[in-house]
Amino acid sequence: MSNPPKILAFAGSTREGSYNKTLVKIAAAGAKAAGAEVTYIDLRDLPMPLFDEDLEAKEGIPENARRFKELMKGHQGLLLASPEYNSSITAVLKNAIDWASRPEAEEPSLACFRDKVAAIMSASPGALGGLRGLVHIRSILSNISVLVLPDQKAIPKAFEAFDENGQLKDPKQQTEVEQLGSKLATMLAKLAS
């Protein structure tokens, strides 16, 4: 591709051995193979205080929240993998979304989410693979102007799903996750043409 789409990949988890960090890297490899430029970030490296309008009024948007927003603005696509906490979205992911949604100066509301396309996935120790959390992620992103691809992937029994090289042991699952990244790259390229 002469002007490759840019995709930001991250997980809604900060745990060092996160299954979802491993999962999103597989999808990122699929996007790269399809010609996209992919930037992987770890939310652990961008700690943000809990969203608080009083804090925002007093000190403005925290530096790491601003960095996260700028990264989002510089990419057309999002690859997102997140665990399911109590049948819903993780606190760290919701907090990052809430901070990034705050307007600054003359920018329009939700500037870093508008015209974005996302692919979502999850890995969980449970039998549903985080599927219930994906419903909430899809709903939140769709309501803040992100086009979420209909395809998604949930990996159950994540504690036994990956090999020591960070690949999925099931070749079919491996291919499907790589294809999520590839489909996102392809969709972004079509939208740009």
179: number of CA atoms within 13 Å, CB side?
10
Of the given ranges (2-6, 56-60, 143-147), which has the lowest mean pLDDT? 2-6
Separation CA 133–CA 121 (nearest Å): 10
Indicate the domain borders of the chain. Answer: 6-192
On whether the pTM is more than 0.85, the answer is yes
Quote the pLDDT of residue 79: 98
Both tokens of residue 60? Answer: 């403005």
Separation CA 136–CA 188 (nearest Å): 23
What class is the 6-192 domain?
Answer: alpha beta
- Sort residue 60 into left (φ over 0), alpha (ψ -120 to 50) or beta: left
Quote the pLDDT of residue 2: 67
**Secondary element (H or E) of residue 148:** strand 146-155
The answer on pLDDT for 34 being more than 90 is yes
Q: What are the pLDDT digits (tens) for 9-18?
A: 999 999 999 9
Separation CA 53–CA 56 (nearest Å): 5
